[in-house]
Amino acid sequence: MKIRELDIPGVFEVAPEQLSDARGCFYEGFRVDALRDATGQHFPVAQINYSVSKRNTLRGIHGVLIPPGQAKYVTCVRGALLDVVVDLRVGSPTFGQHTRTLLAADAGTAVHVPEGLGHGFLALEDDSCICYVLSSTYVPGTQFEIDPLDPELALPWGFTEQPLMSEKDAAAPTLRQALEAGLLPEWPTDPEEGKA
């Protein structure tokens, strides 16, 4: 695996090394030891979710309150997605900034999203499926959303027609509104905070 940190501290792209032959290919999609060595944090696997979307479906920007917090390891297992991560940690040097990654099933690339960041994606093909490996289980009432079309964030989705969105995402507050409402997590001042 080739693991590299992206423009936002703690966000890593994981590109597997594929072994191919006449039958197809094989690759490691997740290795807890390799991820720990690259990020310096343990990633306990607590839950795995899948989401299937039609082309031009926009999901996100979604986050989880701290506590309980939730890190994500996301990959596309069918189709293709434009994956976007937004730094929502108040006090972070990259607060409000984003990074984006093309996730395609044939490449097997994944993105590690640490606690305190927002995540969303745009499905680029029909029947695209994303897999979320999560560090904690679902806790009702701890999820929050940020408007993925917030003009201040100006996320480069690249769609040419109005995307399909849930009512919840369409009605989500802007980053500024979420900040003023006190919904966003704090940038940890202790470098050991959040390590398991």
62 is a catalytic site residue: yes
Can you point out the beta strands (E) in 1-155? 2-5, 12-15, 19-21, 24-26, 47-53, 58-64, 72-78, 80-87, 98-104, 110-113, 117-123, 128-134, 143-145
Q: Delimit the domains of the chain by residue range.
A: 43-180
Catalytic site residue from 27, 112, 119, 132? 132
Judge whether 188 and 91 are in contact, CB under 8 Å: no
27 is a catalytic site residue: no
Report pLDDT for 190: 64
Q: For residues 108-129, b (16+ Cβ closer than 10 Å) or e, as one string?
A: bbbbbbbbbbbbbbbbbbeebb
Report pLDDT for 189: 73
pLDDT in tens, the chain (196 residues): 999 999 999 999 999 999 999 999 999 999 999 999 999 999 999 999 999 999 999 999 999 999 999 999 999 999 999 999 999 999 999 999 999 999 999 999 999 999 999 999 999 999 999 999 999 999 999 999 999 999 999 999 999 999 999 999 999 999 999 999 999 999 987 655 544 4
| pTM higher than the cut 0.75 | yes
Instruction: Decide yes or no: CATH 3.40.50.720 for domain 43-180.
Output: no
Catalytic site residue from 50, 62, 98, 119? 62
